[in-house]
Amino acid sequence: MARIQHQPTTLHGTKMTIDWTNFTPWISMTGGLLIGLATTILLLFNGRIAGISGIVGGLLRPVPGDIGWRTAFVAGQVVSPFVFGLFAPLPVARIDAGTGTLIVAGLLVGIGTRYGSGCTSGHGVCGLSRLSPRSLAATVAFMLAGFITVFVVRHLIR
């Protein structure tokens, strides 16, 4: 498939292009709406926050009567790409990192999740919608760490 790109512009001597073929605002907006709907339903009907680390963590230390909804939530995350694939082609996964980098990144995310008392989904999606100051601080910290990481990896290490 041909890529349609915007005329290159420069930022500090680096050419930037927009890959219009992979620009998917409607699919992205639909996904965001579905995430918002799912988190709202979980909160309204179950009184629970849809933080993935907390949901999966609860499966690792199961409490009777608490396993069913957690299993259903995680199963929904696993099954949903297959359901999506029935209606549209799945995007090709491309990871530009080696195994060691992925292991270190995963460990850092896990450590950050523990120190932040939750993950990006719990704080960024659920906590911000509840106007939680703690979630605002955590989300700012997550985003800042992401910006710094991208800058260091793309501009200082390469």
Predicted confidence (pLDDT) per residue in 95-116, tens digit? 888 899 899 988 988 888 888 8
- In this model, does residue 2 exceed pLDDT 60? no
User: Which two tokens mark 52?
Assistant: 């993935």
pLDDT digits (tens, 9 = 90+) for 30-48: 988 998 998 899 889 988 8
Using pLDDT thresholds of 50, 70 and 90, give the confidence band for residue 7. Answer: low
- In this model, does residue 144 exceed pLDDT 60? yes
pLDDT digits (tens, 9 = 90+) for 53-110: 888 989 999 888 889 999 999 999 999 999 989 998 888 888 888 899 899 988 988 8
User: What's the rounded Cα separation, in Å, for the pair 142 and 124?
Assistant: 9
Handedness of CA 107, 109, 112, 114 (dihedral sign): negative
- In this model, does residue 13 exceed pLDDT 80? no
H helices within the chain, ranges in order?
Answer: 25-46, 52-60, 67-85, 99-115, 120, 128-129, 133-151
Note the pTM of the prediction, 2 decimals.
0.69
Q: How many CB atoms lie within 10 A of CB 106?
A: 10
